[in-house]
Chain A
Amino acid sequence: MILKLVRRNIAATKGRLLLMLLSIVLGVSFVSGSFLLADSLRSIFSQITETAFAGVDAQVRGVEDELATSFEPLRFPDDVVDQVASLPEIELAEPSLTAVFQVFTVAEDGSNNRPQGPPVFAGSWAGESEVSAFNLREGTAPQGAEVAIDSTQAETHELAVGDQIRVSGPGLEDFLPVTVSGIVTFGETEALGGAYFNLFELETMQQLMGAEGLIDGILLNGDDALSNAQLLAAVEAAIGDHPDLEVVSGTTLADEQSGDFNEIIDILGYVLLGFALVVLFVSIFIIYNTFAILISQRIRQFGLLRSIGMTGSQLSRIVLIEALIIGVIASILGLVGGIGISWLLKQLFAAGGGEFPDGPLIFKPRTILIVFGLGIGVTVGSALLPAFASQRIPALAALRDGAAARQSSRSRRILIGGLVTAAGAALLLLGLFGSVDTTPRLASLGFGAILLFIGVAALSVLFASAVTRAIGRPIEAVTGLTGRLGRDNASRNPQRTAATATALMIGLALITGVLVLTESLRSSFDKILDEAVAADLFVYDDNQQFPFASTALDRLGALPEIADVAGVSDLRVEIDGGVESASGFDVVTENRVLDPKLTEGTYAAGSDGVLVFRDTAEERGLTLGDQVTVRFEDDFTGEFSIVGIFDDNALFGTDWIFDRAFTAQRQNQDAVLFAGATIADGIDIAQGQAAAETAVASFPQLAIENNAEFKETQEGQINSILYLVFGLLALCIIVAFIGIVNTMALSILERTREIGLLRAVGTSRRQLRSMVRWEAMIVGVFGALLGVVLGLVIGIAAVTAIPDSFISEVSIPWVWAIIFMIIGGLLGMLAAFFPANRAANMNVLDAISAT
């Protein structure tokens, strides 16, 4: 019986459920889409790596050091190849040398060919063989002054076999002219996430890298009659006199490779899932509102059912079963919608230059379970409160107009809302300031934010009427009666107004919070530039901030136009037994280029001194002259005395500074992350910049920027993060928009009689429309106001919690805050478009006689 009632109720109100369904489906689709995409990519990449390493039985390579910062594997002399190749167990031993973001093909104008984001690999390639990961699509394997490139790069830059081009390399004085000998694919794959590959004969590659006689791996194919273990044992014995070398099986190699891919895919999946969950969270308020409104519309029916003997729990069961059915429908649609979302995301990545290979969609049972769990859980969960409230509908509601379920009392709301808000704030603070691990920290932040949003939503009911009345005051003053009616309507059901506004609040709070972060990041950065940097020029890889060979700095330093060059390299060292991040810095330039603000001591670190950040020195009780034991990547260990104490750790982002002249010898590869340069007296900046650009022209990945350009690039990067977040959170705003449309449409249906009356006594359609629009606008501004205030609070708390070495300034985006309020109002007005028309077009007589 109850089921029949539920079915009929849904059938009778399906138009009213549609928008709510849409909001759930959007969230659920995004959830299922992120799982589908991640699972598909995982399966594609594991297949790719399996194929690519299918013929590799083993590889000899350097042992990875815990202190390695180097982006490239350890290099070793190529005579090891002979030691291994001569083994009877080995049929093929192919030496290799690889590089990331160091070797580029160069366009006509001297700029590097590179995609936005994905990596550019270079390596030695001896042509197709059992151990080769690459297949020739056309042409031949590279020999001498030849390069083979991947098909993505060939298509993007219109390169073909036989083309004469140039390549760059850190080992070259100038570009190397080469001929494109062939186009390759990685395994059978055309597009590997947009990455580029430049392949050369080993000798050419060594020349490009300035690594004559060095390799970083040997790919092995053994006698098929032997087991893998036997093969590994034989190789291990052969390289026994090289303790820094190891041999691993081809399967391990493939697993590691797909593990690397999986890490990236996991991050992608989690980010997408995170946003999907935010969208779902927003839709909770819309579902809640829809059910609450539908129940109040059916209050007489529910009263009738109560009076003829339906119990309160039977009544709430009706509501919950309705929610269950809607949840099931939404989950099914969401699962299907996920296919569309994952396709859309792939297209978006492709448009952004990160094309993924095609592969089948993977529907894991886990995905289906989660999608149904979330879809049903969110819908039924959101309907719980309205369902319980429906229990309190009195039987007399059948007889009286305007009878309503008892509302929970004000003091109870203050108590519960206050407790939830406080719990949320406490969890947020714990997450921000507490000294806990990353996972509980993130969980604490997430739950804290959720509780805070719910708590504020509950509390906002208390002041919704007062605030909406205040927002409506100027509107009423300007527009008179229609504004007055809109204002009254916006404030007359605070619960409904609060829930509608909350949906908008969440998206805007997150956006505002992120804005506070990025604005603070920007002003912290500006502060560093203004206070700690005397450099006229900045030298770095402006695309990926990838390290580059320090030979570039030598060339700059040799220029008469340049006074000082100060490079900064990235180190990992073991200090008194603990692994720390540290910087190598050209201390001879002291504070003339980059100023870490020395407070005591000198810059003269040399080969046995170190500078330490003030706070770290205090924590460890270190003063000038104290000794610390330091171990470097090459296992060099020594006693280092504190020669200086500095005040600004934001400039380099680490607490320890060594002399780069010394640390360059300690690293596997001598590379620099970033450098500043000052221009000699009497030379103007443009002239110096031009000279510098010419000097490092063969490093096409490097940007030489003056102060203004540098600022612009950095802001551009902050902005691109911001836009990405905006784009993803825009979905929240869309769902909130649907929520406003939904509430307005349902409220107008509910007020049919009242609207009929207004029309009957002479309200024009136009007046009615503007009345509805003003109401929606007020609700929109209210939501935006809540969101902006909450976002500012969260953002400021986050900025305060982030270490000063990253963000030192708090900056509040006032302009944006005002823009968001305007956007909130406009969204409200836009959302009211259809509901307002509907109200205006009601037949007066029908409306009046409606029950």
Chain B
Amino acid sequence: MMTEATQVGGAVIAAARTVTKIYGSGETEVRALNGLNADFRRGQFTAVMGPSGSGKSTLMHVMAGLDRATSGEVIIGETLLSTLNEKQLTLLRRDRIGFVFQAYNLVPTLSAEENMVLPLQLAGRKRDQAWFDQVVGAVGLGDRLTHRPNELSGGQQQRVAVARALVGQPDIIFADEPTGNLDSRTGHEILDFLQTAVRQLDQTIVMVTHDPISASYTDRAIFLTDGEITSEMGSPNADEIYNHMRSLGA
């Protein structure tokens, strides 16, 4: 089944061109990505789905400059990541990409607010106070800013992580199973919030998930099998995704 992706969003902000990623060599060789092509548009909320070992996490790592492709090209804005050295890649992550991980998102010794502005301060950039207030208001953490991570609930910690990704106004945010460690109610709050960030704050988010309900919050779901995109779904709903995944044998 292959439905036409709804054209939500603007210009392509990130793209993968025949990206291959191979781990190991010889007998132990694993082809995590196999000549994969993908576009991600500004203002679009994308879910990357697929069974375990399908390469969805690898895709995210490669797209986000955390790891390098074996061949092919990853483009963020106008920048070809293969042309960047380690240092430039770090700066690209710092200035143009946001991250939300499944767990262990925050520096435990820094307060919520300090965690949020960490990338800005690393870059030596001034915070845009109006934007910061808007983000803090949106995540609803106004009264928790001075707390340390261990004084926050799991959901609050994830919201701080999302806020950190947003505060720097990156080109694109990558989220790796951001609700994987949360109960379903808290998870939905986070997903609502991510959706809001895309719709109202015009952010671009790519979320890796295996959960059909999470994916139903997105504008578009792409499905990976064996390192290739095998299908794509616009404005997906949970049932459709669930059925599709079953058909993929996941």
Contacts and interface: CB of A to CB of B under 8 A. Distances in A.
Interface of A: 1, 4-5, 8-9, 11-12, 300-301, 304-312, 314, 394-396, 398-399, 851
Contact of B93 (A1, A11, A307, A314): A307
B66 A396 contact: yes
Given A395-B93, A399-B176, A308 B164 contact: yes
Contact of A312 (B61, B86, B93): B86
Query: Which of B67, B90, B105, B118 counts the most chain A CB atoms within 10 A?
Result: B90
23 contacts: A5-B107, A8-B109, A11-B109, A301-B104, A301-B107, A304-B105, A304-B107, A305-B122, A306-B90, A307-B93, A308-B94, A308-B122, A309-B91, A309-B93, A309-B94, A309-B119, A309-B123, A310-B122, A311-B87, A312-B86, A314-B122, A396-B61, A851-B104
A8 B110 contact: yes
B165 to A, nearest CB: 8
B122 A12 contact: no
Contacts of A304: 101, 104-107
B109 A9 contact: yes
Nearest to A305: B107
Contacts of A300: 104
A308 B109 contact: no
A463 to B, nearest CB: 28
Contact of A308 (B61, B86, B99): B99
A309 B108 CA distance: 17
Complex A-B, nearest 9 residue pairs according to Cβ-Cβ distance, in ascending order: A309-B94, A8-B109, A1-B121, A395-B66, A309-B93, A308-B119, A311-B90, A12-B109, A309-B119
- Interface majority SS on A: helix, strand, loop or mixed? helix
Nearest to A311: B90
Given A1-B118, A5-B109, A311-B87, A398 B93 contact: no
A5 B90 contact: no
A399 B101 contact: yes
A310 B105 contact: no
Contacts of A1: 118, 121-122
A399 B119 CA distance: 18
Interface in B92-119: 93-95, 99, 101, 103-110, 114, 118-119
A570 to B, nearest CB: 69
A648 B164 CA distance: 84
A311 B119 contact: no
A38 to B, nearest CB: 43
A341 B66 CA distance: 52
A12 B104 contact: no
A649 to B, nearest CB: 67
Contacts of B122: 1, 305, 308-311, 314
A314 B91 CA distance: 12
Given A307-B99, A312-B86, 14 more contacts: A1-B118, A4-B110, A304-B104, A304-B107, A308-B94, A308-B119, A309-B91, A309-B94, A311-B91, A394-B66, A395-B66, A396-B66, A399-B66, A399-B176
A308 B165 CA distance: 9
A365 to B, nearest CB: 37
A305 B121 CA distance: 12
Nearest to A399: B101
Nearest to B94: A309
A665 to B, nearest CB: 84
Nearest to A313: B87
Contacts of A301: 104, 107-108
Contacts of A312: 86-87, 90
Nearest to B110: A8
B90 A309 contact: yes
Interface in B102-156: 103-110, 114, 118-119, 121-123
A684 B116 CA distance: 97
B66 A308 contact: no
Nearest to A301: B107
Contacts of B106: 304
Nearest to A306: B90
A301 B119 CA distance: 14
Nearest to A309: B94
A596 to B, nearest CB: 74
A310 B90 contact: yes
A851 B106 CA distance: 13
A301 B108 CA distance: 8
Query: Which of A300, A307, A309, A310 counts the most chain B CB atoms within 10 A?
Result: A309
A314 B99 CA distance: 19
A394 B66 CA distance: 8
Contacts of A398: 101, 104
Contacts of B107: 5, 301, 304-305
Contacts of B108: 12, 301
A300 B103 CA distance: 11
A12 B148 CA distance: 12
Contact of B66 (A4, A8, A307): A307
Query: Which of B91, B107, B164 counts the most chain A CB atoms within 10 A?
Result: B107
A311 B87 CA distance: 7
Contacts of B61: 396, 399
Contacts of A311: 87, 90-91, 122
A11 B109 CA distance: 9
B166 to A, nearest CB: 12
Contacts of A9: 109
